[in-house]
Amino acid sequence: MEFLLAIITGLLYAAGLYMMMRRSLVKLILGLIIIGNGANLLIFLLGRITKGSPPIIGEHEKLLSDIYADPVPQALILTAIVISFGLQSFAIILVKRAYKVVKTDDLDKMKATDEEV
């Protein structure tokens, strides 16, 4: 199962990089979204996939003796999802404004400076 998820993570990174190398700003944002999902899956895989109980130490125990699920990668992924949502929202508004001003979303055509426009 972990091998399959590792391959999917690699495919997400490859697809995201491919999309980011295109000339369109919309494809750049889609590539950012795909790479963000790949990074979240990578963090999830680094925390290992285990079926276990919550990491709560009982009153009479000093250490956890059972197999437990690590909550840190899950918290990191939730934080990354919120941050990436904010980044995506900002990027979409920025692309919309750039398209309104320049009338194109092609990065090669947007290289003009203010004096040339």
* Mean pLDDT, rounded, for 30-59: 84
Residues forming a β-bridge with 51: none
pLDDT, residue 8, reads 95
Q: What fold is seen in the domain 2-51+69-111? A: Helix Hairpins (1.10.287)
**pLDDT band at residue 115 under the 50/70/90 scheme:** low
Angle at 79 between CA 73 and CA 45, to 5 degrees: 25
Domain assignments of the chain as residue spans, ordered by start: 2-51+69-111
SS3 46: helix
Tell me if 91 sits within 8 A of 27, measured CB to CB. Answer: no
Q: Write down the mean pLDDT value for the chain.
A: 85
pLDDT, residue 16, reads 95
In percent, the amount of the chain with pLDDT more than 70 equals 94
Tell me if 40 sits within 8 A of 81, measured CB to CB. Answer: yes
